[in-house]
Amino acid sequence: MRLTKELLYGKIIRGFEGTDPEPVAEMLNAVPYGGIIFFRKNILNYSHLGEFIAQLKSRVARPLLLCIDQEMGVVNRIREGLPPLPGGRKFAALPREERKESAATLAERLAEAGINVNFAPVCDIPANPEDFIYRRTLGDTPEEVCQALEDWLEGFRGSGILSVLKHFPGHGNTKTDSHLGLPVKETSWQEWLSRDALPFLHGMELGGSGLMLAHILYPNIDCEPLPLSPVFLRYLRHTMGFRGPLFTDDLEMEGFLSLPDWKERFHRLLVGTVDYLILGKNLPGKVDEVKIVEELLATSSLS
């Protein structure tokens, strides 16, 4: 595979500062990033999001992935202008028809604003309320999570939005928040298949379009943490035959940056089978993706 700027930068979904589309358009016209991710700091309200995207599209000619984590509930990037839709546990507590209607309303509003990738729903199964992910989850059992997941995906069907299931292979029964460190999950392959895997497998069958890979280590299954675990990546691509895009979780999280060889891992992700790398750019100066890409291109030209 010949490495090019377009190939390497095209795998990066980049965060940005501010609420003005003009400097973002300039950045995207200068560097061929694959897309951008909106955080709460970038969105004044729902109307502003739509105006931002419209102006961006008028200034940048190529197609872009325009991404957001709009789970509703705890993770809610749009502060004003959306109906008060429930997320996480509150979404799961609704009757099924109301869940479908709620998800369909969210899908419609995101599509109208111009979003084409939503990093949701959460498919993790918590073991107890102490799990850091607990409030964002859709139930306590595989059956509960799978049923709520069905209703979420049904609401998004036909919207044109890529629904990205997260956080594969599952954050349940871990107390360490991957924003702060690398969670370690002590479970066997068979235990994983019989519990944590089920919502992801069900979501893939239902048409969940993409998967977000967690920052997590399953030491009884693979000594390599996600998102680079060859065991889990082979299972997804070869055993399951999953052909949808794979996204990393934000590479500025300590679950990734706390690893001593994270720069070498970033290199491997750029040239590997994971399709997109999320780089939130919430830690200015921490990850210099331009330098990393240039190093890879220089190495490639010498080989």
| Residue 179 bears catalytic tag | yes
Which 8-state DSSP code applies to residue 259?
Answer: S
Long-range contacts of 96-103 (CB under 8 A, 24+ apart): 96/147, 96/151, 99/148, 99/151, 99/152, 99/155, 100/151, 100/154, 100/155, 101/155, 102/155, 103/151, 103/152, 103/153, 103/154, 103/155, 103/156
Instruction: Decide if 83 contacts 137 (C-beta within 8 A).
Output: no
Which pair of tokens denotes residue 298? 């220089």
Query: From the candidates 131, 249, 267, 275, which is the catalytic residue?
Result: 249
Give the CA dihedral 35, 40, 44, 46, nearest 10 degrees: 70
Is residue 284 classed exposed, middle or buried when 0-12, 13-18 and 19+ CB atoms within 10 A define those classes? exposed
Handedness of CA 56, 282, 9, 226 (dihedral sign): negative
| Residue 171 bears catalytic tag | no
Which 8-state DSSP code applies to residue 99?
Answer: H
The set of residues, in sequence order, having a beta carbon less than 8 Å from that of 140 and lying 6+ positions away, is 125, 126
Cα gap 188→197, rounded to integer Å: 12
Q: Output the CA angle 243-10-205, nearest 5 degrees.
A: 20
Query: From the candidates 151, 179, 250, 275, which is the catalytic residue?
Result: 179
**Pick from 75, 170, 94, 91: which is nearest to 131 by CA?**
170
Is residue 71 classed exposed, middle or buried when 0-12, 13-18 and 19+ CB atoms within 10 A define those classes? buried
Catalytic residues: 179, 249
